[in-house]
Structure 1
Amino acid sequence: MSEKTVLNPITNKCDILFLFDVVDGNPNGDPDAGNRPRQHRVDGDMRGFVTGECIKRKIRDYVLRKVEAGELPADKYDIYIRPGKPLDFKCQEMAKSIGIEKLDKKGQKEISGKEKDKELHDAMCARYFDVRTFGAVNTLFSDTAYSAAIRGPVQVTFCDSVHDIEPERLTLTRCVATKDNEDEKNRTMGDRWIVPYGLYKGVIRVSAEVAKKTGVSADDMSLLIEALEWMFEEDQSAARGLMTMRKLVVFEHSTARGKAHLSSLMDTVDVKLCNGMDAPSRYEDYEVGVRGELLPPNVKMHVVV
């Protein structure tokens, strides 16, 4: 995909700030800690956090559901990182579709940095929504200059809870035996971690300059924001409890490289506890305000939620 073939390319840098909360659920468990909700737990810092990879997974799943429902064309909005065919198989299919048959080290070095390598890079970006937005590391193309590692313009940070969280471990009992030879009184014990309440803040940064290289369009940006707004509604699970997007603000700069520091943009969304409150247990315990008067010049604010 060459730059001139991109429809409605984004030309301005964007920053996205969002707040979401969880009630009696596990927003992002740590498999190395018995699936305990992720928490800093260093030097008295007991804030929880959700990884950027977790947020990207929810965005991917939202887009994929729209593709599978026929609402988006698969040849433009397919998802690269998902269960199913191995990644190397997808890479092989993509290479063959543009006439590359030799993918051994010698064949890759012959095209590395040349037009065919760029064509392969652009073909990956053109088909897969998550490749052109988040980027990808394609190990099968490790000896190419352009296709081995595609840098994405959409960078998702960790989401930290606004205040400390207190995870709880629940013990569960199953009332049915697993095997025929088990006594009916035998009960299987299990456990599940939850966060009784936590309000989390996340930031996403979008580079217009990198977006030109991968072909991210204004339509892709609209889909990304739509996915952020609705991803928790489409990702319901008893283990995750009740997760809700509470605030979603998009900051659009007037240039490709930006006109304001992120810190000044974050100051426009004020989050504080209500008077007399020190242990929040629900969203209503917070006062969340958007202070447009603090917005730096040459930056537009779009309050989505």
Structure 2
Amino acid sequence: MSTLQNKIDFAVVLRVTHANPNGDPLNGNRPRADYDGFGEITDVCIKRKLRDRLLESGQSIFVQSDDRKIDGARSLKARADAALGKKLGSSETAKLACEQWFDVRAFGQLFAFKSDKKSKREADSEGDTGVSIGIRGPVTVQSAFSVEPVDISSTQITKSVSGEGDGSKRGSDTMGMKHRVDKGIYVFYGSMNPQLAERTGFSDADAETIKQLLPKLLENDESSARPAGSMEVLKVIWWKHNCKSGQYSSAKVHRSLAVQPDGGMQLDTLDGLSHEILGGF
């Protein structure tokens, strides 16, 4: 199977209605926003959702979340040991990992190993802290930002029962807060680099798999903070260049898309660059 032959840029437009698209644990789990009030969904959050959709479609995924994992591995190290065995940590690690796991050959991965010294003191005395094998992936995803500042609503909630104590009175654990974005249109961008794809084996077929899953990115991702139907992908824009190096820079391609606060969009034509628009699922 040949590796990716053409540079690809893409964009995803999504709508949030009365949901918390990405809570900040350092800020009481309030929806993330920058200092200017624009809502944010981190790239890590987006790749988590994409990994989950890939896993549901039958792809082999290395970084599985604990509540969705399909094997008995209790850690990434355990999963790597089970798949690679004695070859884990060898010069073949990167090649075998890319062949084994879709997300590794797409997004890259850092495999870090502790020193094989018998004691930590012995390792530290010799300056041997272990070895790290880094894999740089060809698929990059930016954080999503709202096209205009978002309004965040906060609601105080109570539970009907106490989580602690004898139940004779309500404790502090029965009180809480929920936060949501009332409404917002978010956009995120991404790219696929053929030069880096040659190193990991990321193929045209892999790119097509991601393309087909992006419209379904928010399906099966419901929670109390994100009720079903409160988040939806509106459009996926897919630019395919006619060469490996790209006809235009990713920055220029991404700037050709202008998204309106109501979800509408305007797409400037770049000479010779083809694009495809997919509707949300």
Aligned to 1:19: 13
Distance 2:211 2:224 in 1: 25
Query: Which protein has the bigger helix share?
Result: 1
Figure out how many residues of one structure are paired with residues of the other and give that number.
Answer: 254
- 1:200 aligned onto 2:200: no
- Unaligned segments of structure 2, at least 5 residues: 67-72, 115-129
Distance 1:173 1:160 in 2: 31
Cα deviation digits, residues 100-158 of structure 1 (max 9, x gap): 3xx7xxxx6xx5xxxxx1x32111001111101000010028636xxx00000001111
Of 123, 128, 148, which residue of structure 2 is paired with 1:163? Answer: 148
3-state DSSP class of the match of 1:17?
Answer: strand
Distance 2:29 2:3 in 1: 41
Distance 1:36 1:287 in 2: 23
Aligned to 2:249: 261
RMSD between aligned residues: 2.2
Q: 1:157 to 1:185 in 2, by over 3 A?
A: closer
- Unaligned segments of structure 1, at least 5 residues: 1-6, 68-76, 112-116, 274-285
Matches within 5 A, 1:199-278: 199-241=185-227, 242-273=230-261
Matches within 5 A, 1:1-305: 7-41=1-35, 45-67=36-58, 77-82=59-64, 83=66, 84-96=73-85, 100=87, 117=91, 119-140=92-113, 143=131, 148-178=133-163, 181-183=166-168, 188-241=174-227, 242-273=230-261, 286=262, 288-291=264-267, 294-305=268-279
Percent identity, please: 27
Is contact 1:265–1:295 with CA below 8 Å preserved after alignment?
no
Cα deviation digits, residues 249-273 of structure 1 (max 9, x gap): 0101111111112343234433235
3-state DSSP class of the match of 1:257?
Answer: coil
- Runs of 4+ aligned structure 1 residues displaced above 6 Å come to 184-187
Is contact 2:23–2:30 with CA below 8 Å preserved after alignment?
yes
3-state DSSP class of the match of 2:240?
Answer: strand
Is contact 1:91–1:140 with CA below 8 Å preserved after alignment?
no
Amino acid at match of 1:12: N
Cα deviation digits, residues 37-79 of structure 1 (max 9, x gap): 11111xxx11111110000000111111222xxxxxxxxx321
Is contact 1:94–1:120 with CA below 8 Å preserved after alignment?
no
After TM superposition, the score normalised by the length of structure 2 is 0.83
Amino acid at match of 1:49: E
